[in-house]
Amino acid sequence: MAPQPVKLDILSDPICPWCFIGKTNLDRALAAVPDHPFVIEWHPFQLNPDMPEGGMDRRAYLEGKFGGKDGAVRAYAPVVQHAEATGLNIDFEAMKRTPNTLDAHRLIHWSGIEGLQGKAVDELFKAYFEDGRDIGDPEVLGDIADTIGMDAAVVMKLLSSDTDKQNIRDRDAASREAGVNSVPTFIVAGKHAVPGAQSTELWQKVIGEIQEQIAS
């Protein structure tokens, strides 16, 4: 009899560099253990829920958030270090705007209905961090939808409506009310919260422990 799958819920924002790093480390652990028990679902958490709908200039956003250019550089130094150690090519110079991610989260939600959530999250991270694209732009989101095999015309039509906007806002609010205040946050089997961009080695250990429990 096949072992029962274990739910892994991931709260994330596609403009969160730690989420990109965390997913990369998790993916490597999953690839190393092909018979892992996890069934993964991604959930919305906006780092900037009050961001204007069209986003804003990234430099102005960072300097405003971290108290000037020097503060922004200091704040991002650990991100740069961990990204390089993980082998990720984040092109910070290409990232001109910080978008409102509500529509990106809607795309992730819709992709999940079609069993394409992992691909959607991957492409959003790639578009933003590697290609410097504005993932708040419906045209960019439509292109990503097309890339992963969704019907881009349907997605564009949905994006032009208010479909699931309140759904995303409500789920984001529910996570905050439950005590989540940073991402990524990984929730194992609905009860064990693992915050932060954990290492591949930690995930391999977690998977091993779960497999032992299932087998016993």
| 117 part of a folded domain | yes
Confidence of residue 143 (pLDDT cuts 50, 70, 90): very high
Please, which pLDDT band fits residue 181 given cuts at 50, 70 and 90?
A: very high
pLDDT band at 214 (very low <50, low <70, confident <90, very high): confident
DSSP β-ladder status, 185-188 and 6-12:
antiparallel
* H/E element, 44: strand 38-44
CB burial string 150-165: b at 16+ within 10 A, e below? bebeebbebbeeeebe
Q: What is the pTM of this model?
A: 0.96
Residue 1 is assigned to a structural domain of this protein: no
Q: What is the average per-residue pLDDT within 153-161?
A: 98
The answer to whether residue 20 is domain-embedded is yes
Query: How high is the mean pLDDT of the chain?
Result: 96
Distances (CA, A) of 211 to 26, 194, 207: 16, 18, 6
Q: With 80 as the cut, is the pLDDT of residue 1 above it?
A: no
Residue 120's H or E segment, with its range, is helix 117-125
Report the domain count for the chain: 1
Helix (H, G, I), strand (E, B) or coil at 42: strand
CATH of the domain at 89: 3.40.30.10
Portion of the chain with pLDDT greater than 70, in percent: 99
Residue 215 clears pLDDT 90, i.e. is over it: no
Residue 124 in any domain: the answer is yes
Its domain, for residue 119, covers: 6-215
User: Residue 191: its pLDDT value, please?
Assistant: 92
Share of the chain above pLDDT 90, in %: 94
Residues 6+ apart with CB under 8 A from 58: 95, 96, 97, 98
By three-state DSSP, how is residue 201 classified? helix
Is 167 part of a structural domain of the chain? yes
> Residues with Cβ < 8 Å from 98, sequence gap 6 or more?
15, 48, 51, 55, 56, 57, 58, 61, 62
Instruction: Compute the C-alpha angle 46/194/129, nearest 5°.
Output: 45
